[in-house]
Amino acid sequence: MSLKGKLRFVGASDTGRVREHNEDTIAHDADIGLLVLADGMGGYNAGEVASGIAVKTIVNLVREHVAREDLSVPDPGSGLSRPNIILRDAISRANKIIYQTARTQPNCEGMGTTVVAALFFDNRITIAHVGDSRLYRQRAQKLEQVTMDHSLLQELVDRGFYSAEEAQRAGNKNYVTRALGVEPSVEVEIQEIPVSKGEYFILCSDGLSDMVEDEDIHLTINTFGANLDTVAKHLIQLANDNGGRDNVSVVMAQVVESFPARTRIFDRILGWFG
């Protein structure tokens, strides 16, 4: 079942004002309802390699599974939905490839990447992330951060050493506690939530979240929400106007219509009358 016409997708990425090259990689596939963003790290150009491997691997594996599986059938062993398992396994596979590449290619030693991915299916969204790349949702005029960073700063917030407001102003934001390619295996955080018509979902690298206040993200969507391209470009411009200290990337989705899943039995019955 194609989701074209049900969702609007857009993505934009920029090197920023300080970095010499862009180590972020983004992708979106409106047909299967997939968004992916990765923020690479490592030696010269190695971060770009890591994020590129992550995004390419995830996109290819998710496309393969969506093409051949019935996503409406939960996994009998774990009880998880098929979109949850597909995203989790695709990210785990990407981790293994990046880890092996870093160990066997001298110019890639020490590379890694954060990742956040989202897969829409049956009026729901599955969200998977590793690191501090984020996903926000805006609905009913309220912006909320859906993912929690895997970072030292977030751990300090969780333990009460910082308030959320103090964390926004802190200088040690970029120490991630989880990333792809660092260890042979990685824990992928997965969640699944219902979605409704009119909602916006924003995936971003820390080049946006570190440079632009949540309130300004909210205001930008309210002002330019009728045109996703304009929203994405304006958010990147805001990050650069505020210093652009890092690569900045944004991938966005707007729910235009509901997209309930049709079971294969229902599709077969429809085929009898086609």
pLDDT for res 80: 85
- Cα–Cα distance measured from residue 102 to residue 10, given in angstroms and rounded to the nearest whole number: 31
Which pTM does this prediction carry? 0.90
Give CA separation, 116 vs 35, 210, 264, in Å.
8, 16, 30
CB 58 within 8 A of CB 117: yes
Domains of the chain: 7-147+180-272 (3.60.40.10)
Contacts of 197 (CB under 8 A, 6+ apart): 255, 256, 257, 258
Phi, psi torsion values for 115, nearest 5 degrees: -155, 145
Q: Running along the chain, 274 residues long, what does each successive block of 10 average in pLDDT?
A: 90 96 96 97 86 98 92 79 96 98 93 97 97 96 95 66 61 78 97 97 96 96 96 98 97 96 58 52
* pLDDT, position 235: 98
**Residue the block writes with tokens 């596979």:** 93
Spatial distance between the Cα atoms of 84 and 90, rounded to a whole number of angstroms: 10
The dihedral sign for the CA sequence 202, 203, 208, 214: positive
In this predicted structure, what is the pLDDT of residue 155?
A: 66
Q: Considering only CA atoms, which of 43, 45, 50 is closest in space to residue 15? A: 45
Could you tell me if 200 and 252 are in contact, meaning their C-beta atoms sit under 8 angstroms apart?
A: yes
Q: What pLDDT is recorded for position 212? A: 96
SS3 category, 93: helix
**How would DSSP label each residue in 113-152?**
EEEEEEEEETTEEEEEEESS-EEEEEETTEEEE-S---BH
150: number of Cβ within 10 Å: 20
Q: Tokens for 80, please give them.
A: 């998880």
